[in-house]
């Protein structure tokens, strides 16, 4: 029961989906801004089980990605980490997740799917685009000064009616790949992700660096 049960209230549920390998401050800042700007009641962070797009890449286990997501969100009262997709077998599709959430909360909820604005142009062309348009609003995080032309062309070219809100997120330049690269080079993650996540990465030797017992890089 993430949300209240007042039948007269329509709750606003934000969903931040991703691989979260690892989760970082870009994700967290974007979700917090969506929470504020759109008056959301809660933001659910949902690490993907087997990401449909990354089947060819090496991805940390769902358990590790969920644990880092839980650590990163645990001190924020309106953030929740969900095991929903990591516990589902097979490849994860956003439309299925949205449909199941819609089934649970019925007409009592509006779904806001939060994503990078670059991803909006892609989502609009997905096989399930019509279902996504019907089930959720889209929230696109953009860099300040980002050119929305590509996303807007994709939306106009789509036969489906998407409701999209753009948010300017200065931390957008942070990415999980950048963090993984830093770890593999023995560089610090301080101020890029919560220290609890950094601790987990080192404790479990994720991303290719082994720590000595003194905490330094071997």
Look up tokens 């644990």; give the residue. 67
3 state DSSP class of 25: helix
The CA-atom distances, in angstroms, between 119 and each of 9, 60, 90, 178 are 31, 22, 22, 18
**8 Å CB contact between 51 and 21:** no
Q: Does 26 bind ligand ATP (CB under 6 A)?
A: yes
Span interacting with ligand ATP, options 74-82, 96-104, 145-153, 175-183, rule CB under 6 A: 175-183
* Contact range with ligand ATP by CB under 6 A, out of 15-23, 67-75, 90-98, 104-112: 15-23
The CB-nearest residue to ligand ATP is: 26
Q: Per rule CB under 6 A, is residue 177 in the interface with ligand ATP?
A: yes
Q: Is 49 in the site for ligand ATP (CB under 6 A)?
A: no
Tell me the CA distances in angstroms from 23 to 47, 78, 170, one per residue in order. 9, 17, 17
With CB under 6 A as the contact rule, which of the stretches 23-31, 68-76, 77-85, 126-134 interacts with ligand ATP?
A: 23-31
Q: What CA–CA distances, in Å, run from 71 to 133, 152, 199?
A: 31, 35, 10
Instruction: Quote the least distance from Cβ 31 to ligand ATP, whole Å.
Output: 8
Reference 62, options 88, 96, 28, 41; nearest CA is 88
Q: Check residue 30 for interaction with ligand ATP (CB under 6 A).
A: yes
140 binds ligand ATP (CB under 6 A): no
Name which of 101, 103, 121 is nearest 112 in CA terms.
Answer: 101
If binding is defined by CB under 6 A, does position 22 make contact with ligand ATP? Answer: no
Q: Does 116 bind ligand ATP (CB under 6 A)?
A: yes
Write down the least CB distance from residue 141 to ligand ATP, Å: 4
Is residue 18 close enough to count as binding ligand ATP by CB under 6 A? yes
């Amino acid at each position: 029961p993430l949300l209240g049960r007042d039948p007269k209230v329509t709750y606003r549920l934000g969903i931040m989906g991703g691989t979260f390998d690892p989760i970082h401050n870009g994700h967290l800042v974007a979700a917090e801004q969506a929470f504020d700007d759109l008056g959301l009641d809660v933001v659910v962070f949902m690490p993907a089980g087997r990401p449909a797009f990354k089947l060819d890449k090496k991805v940390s286990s769902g358990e590790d990605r969920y644990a880092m997501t839980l650590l990163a969100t645990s001190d924020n009262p309106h953030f929740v980490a969900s095991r929903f997709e990591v516990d589902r077998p097979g490849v994860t599709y956003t439309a299925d997740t949205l449909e199941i959430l819609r089934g649970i909360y019925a007409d009592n909820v509006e779904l806001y799917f939060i994503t990078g604005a670059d991803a909006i142009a892609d989502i609009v062309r997905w096989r399930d685009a019509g279902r996504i348009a019907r089930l959720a609003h889209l929230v696109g995080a953009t860099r300040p000064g980002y050119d929305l032309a590509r996303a807007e062309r994709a939306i106009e070219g789509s036969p489906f009616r998407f409701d999209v809100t753009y948010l300017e997120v200065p931390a957008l330049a942070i990415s999980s790949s950048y963090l993984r690269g830093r770890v593999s080079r023995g560089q610090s993650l301080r101020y890029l992700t919560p220290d609890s996540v950094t601790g987990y990465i080192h404790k479990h030797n994720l991303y290719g660096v082994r720590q000595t017992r003194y905490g330094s890089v071997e």
